Amino acid sequence: MRHTLSVLVENNPGALSRIAGLFSGRGFNIESLCVAATLDPTLSHLTLVTSGADLIIEQIIKQLNRLVDVYKVVDVSEGEYVEREMALIKVKAEAETRAEVLRIVDIFRCKVVDVSPKTYTLEVTGPETKLKAVLELLRPIGIKEIARTGTIAMAREKKTV
Amino acid sequence: MAKMAGKQMVVEALKREGVEVVFGYPGGAIIDVFDAIDKDGSIKFVLVRHEQGATHAADGYARSSGKVGVCIVTSGPGATNTVTGIATAYMDSVPMVVITGQVPTALIGNDAFQEVDIVGITRPCTKHNYLVKDVKDLSRILKEAFYLARSGRPGPVLIDIPKDVQNGKAEFAYPEEIELRSYKPVADPHIKQIERACALIEQARKPIIYAGGGVVIAGAHKELRALAEEISAPVAMTLMGLGGFPGTHPYSLGMLGMHGSYCSNMAMANTDLIIAVGARFDDRVTGKIEAFAPMAKIIHMDVDPTSIQKNVKVDVPIVGDCKKGLSKLLKVLKEGGRDQETWKNQHKAWWEQIRAWEKRHPLSYKKDSNVIKPQYVIERLYDMTKGRAIITTEVGQNQMWTAQFYKFDEPRTLLTSGGLGTMGYGFPAAIGAQIAFPDKLVVDVAGDGSIQMNIQEMATAMEQKLPVKIVILNNQFLGMVRQWQELFYEKRYVATRFQVVPDFVRLAEAYGAKGFRATRPEEVDQVLKQGLETDGLVIMEFAIAREEGVFPMVPAGKATTEMLLV
Ligand SMILES: Cc1ncc(C[n+]2csc(CCOP(=O)(O)OP(=O)(O)O)c2C)c(N)n1
């Protein structure tokens, strides 16, 4: 099962490598990892996507909590939550495919952020499933390069991390 | 407030934490701290011969006394030499503070002379670690380090202090209390869980208490004993749990697991309720996990929530300090109003079964009048010390024979590397224990392989006038590995046979210590007696049966009921 964890961590040097090291050292899987500042300058917010059986996820959460720098861990995927990821996609855009690319851009509400004689660069934002769908449609046209941010997530309504 | 140099802050913090002794080894990057310790004059400094020795000595000091062990070394190679000792302490939850010197902050990251990223290297094997970049943070970090090392599930904490920070000045602001919002170890177990546990205990017909090192660390041996006696339940211990329950108590089944007793492994396999206390279902205990205690419900008490539900599915998790947890459990059980007779009756059939297992295969070995049996040496050592010594062990067969044949009645009397299984641990640990308890008898039981891993610490013991007794069970083999080769590799003794073994008696003499040797069974008593009665550092060497094995043995990956017996 795929789980999205929201982790608040002290803004101390080495905190991120401790978390990354925990995953590699214990053989847990990281599908994506995103870190950024929060409103509180002493804390960073980390969104971590991982997958595993329930017992593994329980271990991951406990092990994270055990780190001295970790303030709070919430499995947001246990309740309702929103998640977003952004990707930049450079796709082949030659005479015969330009229209098709633009149609996809339109349907998925992407943005064209750069144009060259042979390529379009698109910006796509959405949950992972949407990114997957866009990529699937663009692939036959010819993707030259992609850059993704990894997932960020937030529990809905009252639940805060 | 007057400013203070970083090096003095270290000294000041050590004093406030009640540290009386530090173990270490000097070098350019830590020379200032050593100088400050010496100027102050109130802390004993023990110079070892290898930094690994310093960490194990600090560890032995900590395990035997329950205090935090402290070790101070230089940067680079000094720091890397401590890693095995730190990992050893980490695996066995030993409170320890390691201070390493570091190159000046301006040089960090430049591959400067004797620079190493020790904070990076030790991240996975410390409870926490720090690189101090600013002397203003140093006093707070020192306080935090001691607090982290000893609270919750204890462990080693490393502080890496660059040379300029040692000499920089700031106000010494040592907090009275530590308040870390991200670190809140749970000590008080939840009453709901205790009640659920009691309900299970009341239903059980074949309960077993499975006690680990957490009992010893928490000082919960009295409470454990009270629980066992109250509900009339047998107690099986892990290697780390030995001494947490009296080994001579009629309810003790001894050790369980790979080299545990037949009886405790059979009891574990047939129990309907495991009451696990401060134990973590290590693979050396469970054997093949799918076959482990198939009928059992499990109550698991541990201060570290990560230990619970890690290897086995638990019915009632109790997160908390074992001492508090056990007393609460006992209290609630007693409120249930049953008397001990009722409990005894309820478990009568179970006890009959257990006694039958005990009879069928008691711990034993084939006696021999021609060659010294290592088990016999341990038995005699037990008799002669009346079980009152602090015993450290190395790793291998010597460790298992000691665990099997020496009956530990008191907590903190067996110091052994359980989690990491570190050869070379026992002797420096004995040095640490002897410093903590100058008047106690401290014996390191060693193999000829392990003792050679930190034998250089004989100089330390001599210098400090420590009367440690070393018992070497010399089989001229890396015995435990040889045993595996014998059983599972058609006796191909690859890299386990020593062609050169030093003359340990003369080696002892070379260090100014005393040495005695027994080569025949009838000499064992004499040598033990002589060795134990001789003042100062002593080596007692026993030329033991070369191909003796440790039994019972559960082959790795097998169910614990699939024991190979003597
Ligand atoms: C530092 C280290 N290296 C290797 C091992 C693997 N190992 C486990 S037991 C053992 C043999 C120990 O031999 P010895 O000290 O002579 O004791 P014996 O088993 O013969 O009693 C070895 C090599 C270890 N535990 N620790």
Choose, from B9, B258, B423, B480, the residue flagged as catalytic: B480
DSSP strand pairing (A43-51 vs A2-10): antiparallel
Q: How many angstroms separate the CA atoms of B260 and B559, rounded?
A: 13
Residue nearest to atom 16 of ligand 1 (CA): B449
Nearest alpha carbon to residue B230 among B325, B321, B331: B331
Give buried/exposed letters for B33-50 (b at 16+ CB in 10 A, else e). Answer: bbebbeeeeebeebebbb
* Residues in chain B within 8 Å Cβ distance of A11: none
Ligand 1 pocket check for B501: Cβ under 6 Å:
no
Instruction: Give the pLDDT confidence score for residue B186 in this predicted structure.
Output: 81
Mutate to test the pocket of ligand 1, among B423, B448, B482, B485 (most ligand atoms within 8 A of CB): B423
Other C-beta atoms lying within 10 Å of the C-beta of residue A106: 9
Pick from B133, B140, B153, B182 the residue to mutate for testing the A interface (most A CBs within 10 Å). B182
- The pLDDT tens digits for B402-426 are 999 999 999 999 999 999 999 999 9
C-beta of B332 in contact with ligand 1 (< 6 A): no
Mean pLDDT on B534-550: 97
Tell me: pLDDT of A161 over 70: no
pLDDT at res. A159: 59
Instruction: Assess A161–B contact: CB distance below 8 Å, yes or no.
Output: no
The first and second tokens of residue B558, run together, are 């097998």
CA distances from B179 to A14, A62, B146 (A): 20, 21, 13
Confidence (pLDDT) at A45: 96
- Res B2: pLDDT: 85
How far apart are the C-alpha atoms of B17 and B499, rounded to whole Å? 48
* Element spanning B65, H or E: helix B51-65
Active-site annotation holds for B379: no
Is B361 a residue whose pLDDT tops 90?
Answer: yes
Distance (Å, whole) CA B275 – CA B566: 29
DSSP states of B470-485 as a string? Answer: EEEEE-SB-HHHHHHH
Specify the pLDDT at position B187. Answer: 77
What's the N-to-C CA distance of chain B in angstroms?
A: 70
B114 is catalytic: yes
CA B399 to chain centroid, in Å, comes to: 12
Residues B162, B521: Cα–Cα separation, whole Å: 56
DSSP state of A76: G
Mean per-residue pLDDT, B297-321? 96
Name the more confident of A1 and B448.
Answer: B448
Tell me which chain B residue has its CA closest to the CA of residue A71: B182
Question: Does the beta carbon of B422 lie inside 6 Å of ligand 1?
Answer: yes
User: What is the percent of chain A with per-residue pLDDT over 90, rounded to a whole number?
Assistant: 93
> Does residue B428 have its Cβ closer than 6 Å to ligand 1?
no
How far apart are alpha carbons B106 and B112 in whole angstroms? 10
Measured between alpha carbons, how far apart are the two ends of chain A, in Å? Answer: 21
CA atoms of B213 and B242, how far apart (whole Å): 8
Phi-psi category of residue B331: left, alpha or beta, with phi > 0 → left and psi -120 to 50 → alpha: alpha
Lowest mean pLDDT, pick from B51-65, B280-294, B510-524: B280-294
Indicate if B203 belongs to the active site.
Answer: no
CA of B170 to the centre of ligand 1 (A): 48
Residues 400-459 of B with CB under 8 A from A: none
The amino acid that residue B333 corresponds to is L
Q: What is the DSSP string of A35-76?
A: EEE-SSTTEEEEEEEEE--HHHHHHHHHHHHHSTTEEEEEEG
pLDDT at A157 (0 to 100): 77
CA distance B406 to A151: 57
Pairing label, strands B235-237, B207-211 = parallel
Q: What is the helix (H) or strand (E) element at residue B186, kind and residue range?
A: none
- CB within 8 Å of chain B, chain A residues 54-113: 55, 58-59, 62-63, 65-66, 68-71
Nearest to B88 by CA among B394, B540, B436: B394
Residue A160 has pLDDT above 80, yes or no: no
Q: Which two tokens stand for residue B306?
A: 């990560």
CA of residue B450 to ligand 1 center, whole Å: 6
Q: b/e per residue, B70-84, with b = 16+ CB within 10 A?
A: bbbbbbbebbbbbbb
Please state the rounded mean pLDDT for residues B338-352: 96
In the predicted model, what is the mean pLDDT of chain B? Answer: 97
Q: Is B235 in the pocket of ligand 1 (CB under 6 A)?
A: no
Give the global pTM: 0.96
CA of B404 to the centre of ligand 1 (A): 17
Q: Are B418 and B92 in contact (CB under 8 A)?
A: yes
